[in-house]
Amino acid sequence: MDKNIGEQLNRAYEAYRQACMDRDHAVKELHQKVENYMQQIREQQEKIELQNSIIAKLKSQLAALNANR
């Protein structure tokens, strides 16, 4: 009986250990995905800022052209 309980405890501990490793891997993967998405967001924000500055410059040039007419 004691041997059977010991085997069950070992299996339960191994299942717990595997579940913890799986959880840790999932958390690490999630953090990596979040970091990648944050980087993509920063890059998109930079593109938007650049495009907004181009638009502002073009509007300024257009206003100057309209003023000359």
Q: Which residues contact 39 (CB under 8 A, 6 or more apart)?
A: none
> Residue 1's pLDDT is what?
56
What is the reported pTM?
A: 0.67
pLDDT in tens, the chain (69 residues): 577 898 999 999 999 999 999 999 999 999 999 999 999 999 999 999 999 999 999 999 999 999 887
Phi, psi dihedral angles at 68 (to 5 degrees): -80, -10
For the chain, the three-class secondary structure string (H helix, E strand, C coil) is CHHHHHHHHHHHHHHHHHHHHHHHHHHHHHHHHHHHHHHHHHHHHHHHHHHHHHHHHHHHHHHHHHHCC
